[in-house]
Amino acid sequence: MRKKLSGSDVINRIGSLAFGKSNDAVKLVFLDPERQELIDDLDLSMVSEVKRGANGVVEVKLLNRIALLELLAQLVEPQAQGGKEAESFFSAMDKAAARLRDGDA
């Protein structure tokens, strides 16, 4: 059974993504195809998309930090003012996740 995430868990994760490093994404681009077992050791949490063309060109798209920071600001600001908006948001997310989990989607 999965651990139930709290609102602060989600805010912390968004914050770590917004301020995270993308060094391992660069390593991925230069990784020799013969050494693919090294991928498991890379932190690719900042990667949103990877494409490898037929000619060997690799394209890596990273998460949008500005969008993450905007979302983080929206979630943190209401908490500083009592937390009702963030609480409402996370309650709605919990209900939607429960419907998906129970097959009511």
pLDDT for the residue numbered 82: 58
**Overall average pLDDT of the 74-91 stretch:** 69
Mean pLDDT of the chain: 82
Is residue 32 over pLDDT 90?
no
- C-alpha–C-alpha distance, residues 51 and 19, integer Å: 24
**Overall average pLDDT of the 75-82 stretch:** 67
Q: For residues 96 and 47, which has the higher predicted lDDT (pLDDT)? A: 47
